[in-house]
Amino acid sequence: MPSKPALSDLNFIVIPLLSTSHLIPLTDMAKLLAQHGVTVTLVTTPLNAARFTASIDRAVRSGLLIRVVELQFRAKEAGLPEGCENQNAAPGLNYRRQFVAAINMLQEPTEKLLREMKPKPSCIISDAYVAWTAETADKFQIPRIVFDGMSCFTQMCMHSLYIMRDQNQLPESGPFVIPDLPDRIEITKAQLPGHFNPGAISIQDIRDKIRAAEERSFGFVINTFEELEQRYVDKFRKLKNGRVWCLGPLSLCNNDDLDKAQRGNKASFDKDDNLKKWLDSWQPESVVYACFGSLGRITVKQFVELALGLEGSGYPFILVIKTGEGQAPIEDWISKNGFEERTKARGLLIRGWAPQVLILSHPAIGGFLTHCGWNSTVEGISAGVPMITWPLFAEQFLNERFLVHVLKMAAGVGSQALVHLGEEEKFEVQVSNKVVTDAIKKVMDKEKEGNEMRKRAQQLGEMAKRAVEGDGSTHLNVTLLIKEIQEFQLKQSAKNSCAKVCDALF
């Protein structure tokens, strides 16, 4: 009978989608697994690897068995500009299919790599959007574990919504309640993700392939912790035959400020800049941090309302501003209006990438104005910071419902409709500066409703930190996942040994 493989003989292959918001949590997950003694191989491309090389190198020097394998990304062959290796760098949504085609071209070199790899691959932890990994896992007779960057709450919302869609029960207009959930969650079709509310560019065939591959998966890893959404974890686990492992908050595997600062990309200022000094100059819980994530974009008119809303609140603020294509009108307004100069005494504008986890963990931050992407949501929860919610696209309206109605640690700005990526000009202004100001004041007020939100946020932040400690739920889940893969490999070895004996006898 084969013996149980040693931890270091287990090789977890991690394959992220080449998009910043997907790379970051899966890189964190690779480090988390390696911290538990297994070998981890992260498969990506050169330009994406460069985003987290420093952090991984530090992890390797500390003794972790983690390595990064770089594969050539055939951008030009797929019809993309040369050097376009990340979804965030694609010229526009019209290139979405070309980007998927280039991702698919990675299957053959990945499989060649896996055939030659030592230790042999034990499982694949794959981003849900890299659907071909289902076929690869079958070829190598190893489990494929899916990561799709959503909470268990949102997974259960999506499950119910798929049933409603398949039965033609989704109302075209007006609010409706999502059925079969532990909480009353009301939403409109206009606020649903593209699976149920498609944009101008249809990619339903791609979504169908992703969903079909998910249905074949061995299990799911989720960037959450059990105490945050236990009822939804239980329901999702029941739906997936028990194979759901909550490994979050993944951002908390970064313990020092350098790891936090270099997480995901190079900040738009160097580490000697005065960001920390600026934050240190403010009272605890007095600053509003506003950021719409790596993909979120708004029109110049909507940006004006956001900027004036922050200014009108009277609170000091950090505002993260996108750089690159399409941002010239916003910079033009900032200059002509004198906004940056006028607010410089209490406002800090960060252009490009901001070290979000580092900022949120600073005591001066008292509120987080967010687009409700799940990475940002769970990072805000981990920091114990109440939120001002402004969902834009994807499943972000569902995340907002979770923050506002289930966790009760946030207030919304009242955005009414989802804006698909690339279609921002269709909705020039949904939210006025007065509403932004009112929502900020509601959350930052320490005397009334904001005080209850702050208490709740701080309680959840403490729960998040306990989850990743040695006796916490996340630590236990990582241990259980590794044990599951050990047992799978043991059974597979026994099966193969039996087959060899049978072949020899007959």
Q: Rounded distance, CA 427 to CA 424, Å?
A: 6
DSSP state of 406: I
Q: Rounded distance, CA 289 to CA 310, Å?
A: 10
Considering 28, 127, 148, 438, which one is annotated as catalytic? 127
Helix (H) or strand (E) holding 366, with range, is strand 365-370
**What SS3 state is found at 79?**
coil
Residue 159 annotated in active site? no
Q: Rounded distance, CA 180 to CA 160, Å?
A: 7
Helix (H) or strand (E) holding 69, with range, is strand 66-70
Q: Rounded distance, CA 112 to CA 151, Å?
A: 33
Q: Rounded distance, CA 438 to CA 134, Å?
A: 47
Burial call 422-443: b when 16+ CB within 10 Å, e when fewer: bebeebeebbebebbbbbbbbb
Of 315, 445, 321, 433, the residue nearest 386 (C-alpha): 445
Residue 127 annotated in active site? yes
Considering 22, 371, 420, 475, which one is annotated as catalytic? 22
Q: What are the start-end ranges of the E strands in 208-357?
A: 219-222, 244-246, 287-291, 317-321, 347-351
Catalytic residue numbers, as ranges: 22, 127
